[in-house]
Amino acid sequence: EDQVTQSPEALRLQEGESSSLNCSYTVSGLRGLFWYRQDPGKGPEFLFTLYSAGEEKEKERLKATLTKKESFLHITAPKPEDSATYLCAVQFNSGYSTLTFGKGTMLLVSP
């Protein structure tokens, strides 16, 4: 069964303390891997799409990387406003455009 697992479930950082979130997946054929940010009471906000192993994308303090079995979301020198739940999702080759989501990593950045 295709699965998406995110770790850790929760992460607390001090402002400026860099870290990484992990998303591992077991799928028969990967079309794309997506990262979203979700704030409380809001819908997921699109961050990145990665399509092939070795690909990297950056946006401000965030950088997403992809290997054949996992993706990392690196957060460099985070600020309190980066606090949110970060969701990883996978799109299969065999399906339509639907996404399979992990349960997310809840990030809290303290000043």
40 lies in the binding site for other proteins (CB under 8 A): no
Q: Tell me how far, at minimum, the Cβ of 88 lies from other proteins, in Å.
A: 9
Out of 13, 102, 107, 109, the residue judged to bind other proteins by CB under 8 A: 102
Closest Cα to residue 88, out of 57, 58, 48, 29?
48
Which of 6, 65 has the CB closer to other proteins? Answer: 6
Which of 74, 99 has the CB closer to other proteins? Answer: 99
Alpha carbons 39 and 106: distance in angstroms, whole number: 10
Residues that bind other proteins (rule: CB under 8 A) add up to a total of 22
Instruction: Considering only CA atoms, give the Rg of the chain.
Output: 13
Q: Tell me how far, at minimum, the Cβ of 16 lies from other proteins, in Å.
A: 30
Who contacts 98 (Cβ-Cβ below 8 Å, separation ≥6)?
Answer: 91
Bond preceding residue 8 cis, omega within 30 of 0: yes
Interface ranges with other proteins (CB under 8 A): 4, 34, 36, 41-46, 49, 87, 89, 95-104
